[in-house]
Amino acid sequence: MLNFIDTVGEAVAGIQDGSTVMIGGFGNAGQPFELIDALMDCGATDLTVVNNNAGQGDQGLALLIKEGRVKKMICSFPRQSDSWHFDAKFRAGEIELELVPQGNLAERIRAAGAGIGGFFTPTGYGTTLAEGKETRFLDGKWQVFETPIHADVALIKALKADGKGNLVYRKTARNFGPIMAAAAKHTIVQVSELVPTGGLDPEVIVTPGIYVNNIVKVA
């Protein structure tokens, strides 16, 4: 069910302790900063967070991690020059890390949205990230079995939404948004602009409204 919501606080109010939360964005592009801040404020804890990175600087996801609200990160690239909050928690053994090659991360999220129970991919074969995983020789290559990543909630950022919840994005800020919207049970979107139904060309819609639950406009 689609709801247009006035504040980011109300938009994230239903997120429960222990949830798996997908957060869009690659670096700062496409990060739903206002929704992450609202998640910080709403108090939900014991979270598993799916994001490409593990927070940067002293804002957004990095703060959630610093405050001990994230028990596990599923990501491809946690270590960055400014990932000090994650680094500290990780070294202290206070956060769990599931490190996933970025393409596996994307494909596993896509699989969850598309109803695929698992798939074989050559990525990671023979590496420590495939240790203990089932392997199979297919299409002339050794491949590794990977499973979908489901989520309770996705927090994503789009450029525009129409009255049916259809979304379009902007440039490389699109990144994980469309696949996370499809993979989560409940998708919360912050947009820069709301347009009337019929205000988006049906040919250019990237995320159909069927994948969207809460929409909040952020100034």
Partner 1 sequence: MSLETSIQTSDKPLGRDDLARLVARDITPGSFVNLGIGQPTLVSNYLEPEQNITLHTENGMLGMGPEATGDQIDGDLINAGKIPVTELPGASYFHHADSFAIMRGGHLDICVLGAFQVSATGDLANWHTGAPDAIPAVGGAMDLATGAKDVFVMMTLLTREGVSKLVETCSYPLTGIGCVTRVYTDKAVFLTGPDGVRVRETFGCTLEELQALVPVPLKAA
> Residues interacting with a copy of itself, by CB under 8 A?
107, 111, 114-122, 136, 138-139, 141, 143, 147-148, 150, 168-171, 201-204
CA–CA gap between residue 126 and residue 155 (Å, rounded): 34
Q: Nearest distance from residue 95's CB to a copy of itself, in Å?
A: 26
Q: Which of residues 24-63 bind partner 1 (CB under 8 A)?
A: 26-30
User: Does residue 79 touch partner 1 according to CB under 8 A?
Assistant: yes
Q: Which is nearer to partner 1, 32 or 124 (CB)?
A: 124
Q: Which is nearer to partner 1, 4 or 77 (CB)?
A: 77
Please compute Rg for the chain using Cα positions: 17
CA–CA gap between residue 179 and residue 50 (Å, rounded): 12
Coil vs helix vs strand at 54: coil
User: 104: how many CB neighbours lie within 10 A of its CB?
Assistant: 21
Residues listed for the chain: 219
For 43, what's the count of Cα atoms within 13 Å in the CB-facing half-sphere? Answer: 2
User: Does residue 120 touch partner 1 according to CB under 8 A?
Assistant: no
33 touches which of a copy of itself, partner 1, none (CB within 5 to 8 A by kind)? none
The amino acid at residue 16 is Q
Residue whose tokens read 């957004």: 60
Q: Which is nearer to a copy of itself, 121 or 166 (CB)?
A: 121
118 touches which of a copy of itself, partner 1, none (CB within 5 to 8 A by kind)? a copy of itself
Question: Hey, which residues does 153 pair with through a beta bridge?
Answer: 21, 186
Q: Nearest distance from residue 63's CB to a copy of itself, in Å?
A: 32
